[in-house]
Amino acid sequence: MVKEQQEKLIEKDSASVNAISPNKPAKFLKHKPSSGARKQNVKPDFHRKNNENESRWHGKCKWCSKQRHDKRVCPARDARCRQCSKIGHYAKVCITKSQTGCPEVAYLGVVQLESKNKTNIDWTVTVQVNHKNIKFKIDSGAHHTVLPANVFQNVFQNAKLEPPDKIQCGPDRNPLKILGKFKTNIEYKGKNCTDEIYVISNLHTCLLGKPALLSLGLGPNLNSVCQISAVDPKAKFPELFKDLG
């Protein structure tokens, strides 16, 4: 009997406790955000700036095409471009283009040396350019015939210059200042040809280039045979061979 009364009291106490302290509703529970959600809310500005700073020196320099660096230490800083003649970049990165793409480069081959005894051979020839006598220096290394600007202005006042489509460089491979070109007839001893002549500023001598030389018969005769005779050194210098055994 006593045992039954104790069990009833225990059940009654449990019911009263559950009535006073029910389970807390879900709205009172605090949910901590997951670590993944927290990472997604971080702004990427800081990381992007760091990446930009790290990649700042990657890539190629637009002035010399080497690894990117400060322009103040660029090897092309004082270099003259062989394509546009401007200073500050190399020709391989030059953005100056002709209408048909990169212009072709032609060279002049004359290197003149002054001698004290004046024994140098004067490789000059007088030809008719548009029926006017012009004295040229023979330059078999020149890709084109060229005239100084003052000769063109004095002799060919009525000739119209066209824009050049090629870059002319001297023997040192530095670009020359071209004023333009004109097509004309060149005659020499009954032979004639039509050639483009380039007019160059600050040039001192008229140069007859290889195409005109070959057309006028002034080039080297590659089919000729030179006879070489051997000289006996003993017969010519006997004193050098005395007492040699």
90 and 136 part of one domain? no
- The answer to the question of residue 43 being in a domain is no
- The answer to the question of residue 208 being in a domain is yes
In angstroms, rounded to a whole number, what is the distance separating the alpha carbons of residues 167 and 148? 16
91 and 147 part of one domain? no
State pLDDT tens for residues 123-179: 889 999 989 999 998 888 788 899 999 999 999 888 889 988 877 787 767 788 888
Rg over alpha carbons for the chain, rounded to the nearest Å, is 45
Q: Under a CB-based contact definition with an 8 Å cutoff, are residues 196 and 182 in contact? A: yes
Which pTM does this prediction carry? 0.47
- The answer to the question of residue 45 being in a domain is no
- The answer to the question of residue 23 being in a domain is no
Q: Under a CB-based contact definition with an 8 Å cutoff, are residues 144 and 106 in contact? A: yes
133 and 73 part of one domain? no
76 and 161 part of one domain? no
90 and 132 part of one domain? no
143 and 76 part of one domain? no
71 and 133 part of one domain? no
Supply the DSSP string of 37-68, one letter for each residue.
Answer: HHHHTS-THHHHHHHHHHTTT-SB-TTTSSB-
What pLDDT is attached to residue 152? 92
66 and 143 part of one domain? no
Q: What is the mean pLDDT of residues 85-97?
A: 80
- Does residue 14 surpass a pLDDT of 60? no
Q: What is the mean pLDDT of residues 195-199?
A: 91
129 and 90 part of one domain? no
Residue carrying structure tokens 């500023």: 201
Q: How many CB atoms lie within 10 A of CB 188?
A: 19
- The answer to the question of residue 183 being in a domain is yes
- The answer to the question of residue 12 being in a domain is no
- Does residue 40 surpass a pLDDT of 90? no
Banded pLDDT at 110 (limits 50, 70, 90): low
In angstroms, rounded to a whole number, what is the distance separating the alpha carbons of residues 89 and 79? 6
- The one-letter amino acid at 8: K
- The answer to the question of residue 66 being in a domain is yes
What pLDDT is attached to residue 48? 47
CATH number assigned to the domain comprising residue 131: 2.40.70.10
What pLDDT is attached to residue 210? 87
Residue carrying structure tokens 């790290």: 54
75 and 162 part of one domain? no
128 and 81 part of one domain? no
Q: Under a CB-based contact definition with an 8 Å cutoff, are residues 235 and 213 in contact? A: no
Quote the domain boundaries for residue 86: 62-96
- The answer to the question of residue 69 being in a domain is yes
What is the four-CA torsion angle of 184, 185, 188, 192, rounded to 10 degrees?
A: 140
140 and 85 part of one domain? no
How many structural domains is the chain composed of? 2
The phi-psi region of residue 243 (left if phi > 0; otherwise alpha if psi is between -120 and 50; otherwise beta) is: left
